[in-house]
Chain A
Amino acid sequence: MATQARREPAFPLSRLPGVIPTIGFLFVGAIVLWLVINLAKTPDAFYDAALIGLSNGAVYGLVALGYTLVYGILQLINFAHGDVFMLGGMITTTFVGSVFGLHESESVGVLLYTIPLMLIVAMAACAAINVTVEAIAYRPLRGAPRLAPLITAIGTSFILQNIALAIYKERPVELPSPLLPNGSIFSIGGVDYTWNRLIVLMVTVPVLVGLMWLVQGTRQGKAMRATAQDADAAAMMGISVNRTISFTFAIAGGLAGAGGVLYALYFTSVKYDTGFTLGLIAFTAAVLGGIGNLPGAVLGALLIGMIQAFNERLTWGAPGSSWTTSIVFSILILILVFRPEGLMGERTPEGQ
């Protein structure tokens, strides 16, 4: 990656040695203290929130991986990514509703073949959408100033939202709830860990591992890393830059599609503007973990998911769900201002 990330924070206060880390530690310490007090007061709410946050984070993680991949290779914030994710969710609702006609607490045998089928279709469709978006909106602007593709990304995001609006109307598309089995696997402190939460994690973790193998261990991954590092040099070495970028977008779209399937099955409600907010949350997660860094994206997503769940579910001193967006964006702003390289440092899988 062509980032020249500097180690010192970019804020003037950094001239006083140790001030920023101290403030940071105090801030994190205050949050930990708040969590501990909550754990002591209402342990079951705490465990509940933590487990919910873990699953939400896993969904965010799939979307965040897509952001991070695209940013790593093009240094472009793909605003349309969240909407591709939403389209994946919408495709799932069509499958659940009209194609398979699934209903509440469907038997495991049916789910065992319907869910993989939905995953395959949604991933393929979203990959195709993402590649098309790249070819139409970003590729013609390769040489243009950075802001040009960013602006077209916003335009594309609105167009995709309106496509969903035209097909699926304004009301959220509701699925039968609960669709995934929600029997208990084990319980911590009286809170059950249910199957549907585990299923979400069971998709995200293998995807992350597979993706890391793809980027680190395959020829195509090598091409991706080379393109991310220096597109011109990569082209001279015989790498087809455009095809590599298309491939990256296809992978990112597939991840968004998988995320969309999980979101639809797990939250059982998708709306045409779901993707926008969730995309921004996932982008925050990618930035929090260190943009361009694959495990960082998942770590950031899990953290953001936990923060969101703690904020919405804890009872003592939590601002509540009406402040979630503000909290997530405050984190984004703080991270960007104080530690733009994110939690996992500057090391990126693409171009170390």
Chain B
Amino acid sequence: MRLHLNLRERARKGFWRALEAVGVERPKERWNRQPSLLRRALPPLAIGLLVLAIAWPVWATPRPSLLAALAIAYGLYLLPSRARKVALPAAAILLVVAYPFYLGELFKLPLFGPFPSMDTVVVMAIFTVMALGLNVVVGYAGLLDLGYVAFYAMGAYTAAWFASPQFAGQNPDGSYKRNVVFGAIDVPEGIGGFHINLWILFLVAGCFTALVGVIIGLPTLRLRGDYLAIVTLGFGEIMPQVARNGDRLFGTSFNLTNGPQGINPIDTPGFGHTLSDATGGFLPSSYLSCCNASFLNHQISSTELFFWTAVVLVLITVFCSWRLRDSRLGRAWIAIREDEVAAAAMGVPLMRTKTWSYATGAFFGGVAGALFAAFKGGVFPDDFFFNISVFILCMVILGGMGNIWGVIVGACVLAYLNQEGIANIGGWINDRFSTSDAQWFQVWSGGIDVPKYTFGIYGAIILIVMLFRPQGLIGSSRRKQELQQGVHDEPLYDSQAQGR
């Protein structure tokens, strides 16, 4: 970092010296006398034009859309800082929401290939919610949770139980009883089981998962950090096994999870005909049978509807994390993370605060799990391995523990890599090095299966980030101090936690 700053300083000094050398008198002083808007506006413009001038011959015709995007970015940059604070997130949200409309226009990136497809973007958004939830536990409260996938699984199964034919009781004549239908969209006649409206279920799944989080947390949160990690890991391992063996729970004939086949189909989300007609078709009645609407010459698909739903969920999660972080509770979490004993001495109720962080994280994990189940149209126990816990943890660490924007970036990058990126990079590497004509460059033959090593790559990411930039890509400065200077060591038990 210091080297980098030095280079920048040196480049600046060199620039002024160069100007002096060509005969401009005291360029720095004269420059500093200019109005601040000009001083802010000119350098990026000059650099941009320079780059454009160099790139023009190589890159025949830059797309007008790219130029427009650059111009808008430049305009945002010029805004006064108070306006920018509002305009920048607004522009980012707009950019994200409009993604389906300009996805087809985007160019290919050199190494990563095409921009993420709609399916990938939905997964990225859902994983962002999960990573933000885990960030509350790991980033804010400093409790290492290695079993976050358990909450994700709980949420997914809650949605699946109450919006699928899973618990369809059979009548004596062999037809299915329809047990409970409440606001479900497009459930065909003759299918049994619970069918509750999925919007309600998202909330129910979140609350139920939070409750499970509290139940798991109450006895275990007393343990010291690394013991807590191993206990949560244990829960994360038990949960998928229960899901896999849950078709005949403990030898009884009760089918809880339908075993390795998983539960499908799950109902589709939607707003129903009443709401759809009342809003003139703006809210689709059902996500799967929606798709004759078009907007700006763009045929809207059900994946895009899921995408916007997930984006709304991400926005809600971001808002909650942001407000929670600055709340009394959030400050208590940070206090506990930094020094548990001091926090307890200052009157922070350790158990209650930790349990709240656990419940909050679990809530978002559950909601994200339910949305993911609805998006995939089913839940399968193989989706809930320990790997996923580490994957989400990796997002939080890579982006920067405790920093909302960092976690969003980390989640998007890693979810993209997992869905498409690593396969694309692998294809690129194999194209280049495995079948290339340059013989001395041919390191191996037949290509390597890069996606096979996905988790090795994540392991390397975790290791490198923790060793060289422990605060993450976009880390919070507070966390950085803590990670580099160390904190007070924790005792085996928090002795203050007794009786709270």
Q: Is A98 an interface residue (CB 8 A)?
A: no
One of B41-49, B240-248, B280-288 contacting the partner = B240-248
A151 touches B466 (CB 8 A): yes
One of B3-11, B228-236, B298-306, B355-363 contacting the partner = B228-236
Q: Is A36 an interface residue (CB 8 A)?
A: no
A336 touches B226 (CB 8 A): no
Q: Is A5 an interface residue (CB 8 A)?
A: yes
B492 touches A326 (CB 8 A): no
Q: Is A198 an interface residue (CB 8 A)?
A: no
Q: Chain A 1-29, CB within 8 Å of chain B: the 1/0 string?
A: 01111100011100100000000000000
A283 to chain B, nearest CB (A): 7
Q: Is A143 an interface residue (CB 8 A)?
A: yes
Q: In the complex, A247 Cα to B224 Cα: how many Å?
A: 27
B250 touches A319 (CB 8 A): yes
A293 to chain B, nearest CB (A): 15
Q: Is B87 an interface residue (CB 8 A)?
A: no
A155 touches B459 (CB 8 A): yes
Q: Chain B 444-483, CB within 8 Å of chain A: the 1/0 string?
A: 0000000011011111111100110010000000000011
A337 touches B219 (CB 8 A): yes
Closest to B230 in A: A77
B238 touches A329 (CB 8 A): yes
Q: Is A152 an interface residue (CB 8 A)?
A: yes
Contacting residues, chain B, for A276 (C-beta < 8 A):
386
- In the complex, which of the residues B459, B467, B484, B492 contacts A162, with contact meaning CB atoms closer than 8 Å? B459
Q: Is B254 an interface residue (CB 8 A)?
A: no
B231 touches A336 (CB 8 A): yes
Q: Is B153 an interface residue (CB 8 A)?
A: no
- In the complex, which of the residues A137, A162, A166, A283 contacts B230, with contact meaning CB atoms closer than 8 Å? A283
A165 to chain B, nearest CB (A): 7
A178 to chain B, nearest CB (A): 30
- For chain A, residues 170 to 216, give those with C-beta under 8 angstroms from any C-beta of chain B: 170
Q: Is A145 an interface residue (CB 8 A)?
A: yes
B456 touches A162 (CB 8 A): yes
A275 to chain B, nearest CB (A): 13
Contacting residues, chain A, for B482 (C-beta < 8 A):
145
A105 to chain B, nearest CB (A): 36
Given A158-B390, A162-B453 in contact, is the A4-B491 Cβ separation under 8 Å? yes
Q: What DSSP secondary structure best describes chain A's contact surface?
A: helix
A141 to chain B, nearest CB (A): 7
Q: Is A76 an interface residue (CB 8 A)?
A: yes
- For chain A, residues 12 to 51, give those with C-beta under 8 angstroms from any C-beta of chain B: 12, 15
Q: Is B487 an interface residue (CB 8 A)?
A: yes
Q: Chain A 141-153, CB within 8 Å of chain B: the 1/0 string?
A: 1011111101110
B405 to chain A, nearest CB (A): 21
B484 to chain A, nearest CB (A): 8
A340 touches B223 (CB 8 A): yes
Q: In the complex, A276 Cα to B489 Cα: how many Å?
A: 28
Q: Is A325 an interface residue (CB 8 A)?
A: yes
Given A145-B482, A152-B467, A166-B453 in contact, is the A11-B219 Cβ separation under 8 Å? yes
Contacting residues, chain A, for B459 (C-beta < 8 A):
154-159, 161-162
- For chain B, residues 265 to 300, give those with C-beta under 8 angstroms from any C-beta of chain A: none
Contacting residues, chain A, for B399 (C-beta < 8 A):
none
B231 to chain A, nearest CB (A): 5
Q: In the complex, A5 Cα to B219 Cα: how many Å?
A: 17
Contacting residues, chain B, for A332 (C-beta < 8 A):
230-231, 234
Q: Is A280 an interface residue (CB 8 A)?
A: yes
- For chain B, residues 182 to 241, give those with C-beta under 8 angstroms from any C-beta of chain A: 219-220, 222-227, 229-231, 233-235, 237-238, 241
A selection of 15 A-B contacts at a CB cut-off of 8 Å is A11-B219, A75-B226, A136-B463, A146-B224, A147-B144, A147-B225, A148-B470, A151-B397, A154-B146, A159-B459, A162-B453, A283-B230, A332-B230, A332-B231, A332-B234
* CB-CB nearest 8 A-B residue pairs: A162-B456, A158-B459, A155-B462, A329-B234, A155-B463, A155-B459, A159-B459, A143-B486
Binding site for A on B (CB under 8 A): 142, 144, 146, 219-220, 222-227, 229-231, 233-235, 237-238, 241-242, 244-245, 250, 386, 390, 393, 397, 452-453, 455-463, 466-467, 470, 482-487, 489-493, 495, 497-499
Give 18 new A-B contacts, CB below 8 A, not counting A154-B462, A323-B245: A6-B493, A77-B230, A145-B142, A145-B487, A146-B490, A148-B466, A151-B393, A152-B462, A152-B467, A154-B393, A158-B455, A159-B459, A162-B455, A165-B452, A325-B237, A330-B238, A337-B219, A337-B231
